[in-house]
Amino acid sequence: MGTLEISGLRKQFGGVVALAGVDLTIEEGEILGVVGPNGSGKTTLFNVITGVHKPTAGRVTWRGADITGLAAHAISRIGIGHTFQQAMAFPGLSVFENVQIASEHCRHARNEAYPWPSPDALLSFVGLQDLRREIAGIMPFGNLRLLGLALALASRPTMLLLDEPAAGLNDKETAKLVDLVKQLPGHGISVCVIDHDMNLMQRLCRRLVVLDFGSKIADGPTAEVLNDPKVLEVYLGGAL
């Protein structure tokens, strides 16, 4: 049994089917990648898992317990964290104050391997300790992405969902992000990541899932999936 299991997950917005019966398992300690063209259902999948949207049908199971349709705050409290496509923070507060607020609201320790007992420890991990007094709203975009990661980690997750974490980053910033994310399983945090950067996904993920029009069309080792003829045709335009 995987840490997170999704069975027949369906989400419909009016006449639009965003998820069409997706089955998916995320194992403990892995970094799983989810890819697909725009509109394939990737972000909707994350939003249903994390309680932003309730599914039209299907089931989400977390460590054997049915969590289908739970509110977002309840999902966070059981150990599932989430970063968003847009870098999000309190723009008028300092970097330290942002992480301090997140930490104060997330004292429910679900992860026994969690190694960051204070906001400063988290900022040191993501490399923002020297910018702790900077106002979040005026920081460069790359640093704001790192702050978003620190805010998500402040919830003490045992699983972290990363929605396009490298969007807008340059090569140096992306390399730093890869290094940070690769360390998370060693701290008791499984990861599921969405991104369009195939180089990033190959560096991070041993397993890829591909969505297209709300359906899963491939699931397996990264190299095999990226050479699957259907994936090449549907997602990558016939060539990687």
Domain edges within the chain: 4-234
> Picking from 37-51, 87-101, 196-210, which range would have the lowest pLDDT averaged per residue?
87-101
**pLDDT attached to residue 61:** 96
- Residue 106 confidence (pLDDT): 65
User: Which is higher by pLDDT, 43 or 90?
Assistant: 43
State pLDDT tens for residues 95-145.
999 999 988 876 555 566 788 989 999 999 999 999 999 999 899 989 999
Query: How much is the pLDDT for 107?
Result: 57
Query: In this predicted structure, what is the pLDDT of residue 201?
Result: 93
| CA dihedral (156, 158, 159, 165) positive or negative | positive
pLDDT interval class at 1 (50, 70, 90)? very low
Instruction: Give the model's pLDDT for residue 236.
Output: 56
Task: Share the mean pLDDT of the chain.
Answer: 90
The reported pLDDT for the residue numbered 111 is 62
CB within 8 Å of 2: residues ≥ 6 apart: 25, 26, 27, 28
- Report d(CA 12, CA 24) in Å as an integer: 18
What pLDDT is attached to residue 168? 86
- Give the pLDDT score at 192: 97
- Indicate if the pLDDT at residue 234 is higher than 90: no
Structure confidence at residue 45 (pLDDT):
96
* CATH number for the domain running over 4-234: 3.40.50.300
Neighbour tally for 177: CB within 10 Å: 23
Q: What mean pLDDT comes out for the span 36-62?
A: 94
Cα distance between residue 151 and residue 104, in whole Å: 11
pLDDT at 240: 47
Structure confidence at residue 86 (pLDDT): 67
pLDDT tops 60 at residue 59: yes
Least confident interval from 15-24, 111-120, 171-180: 111-120
Give residue 102's pLDDT. Answer: 87
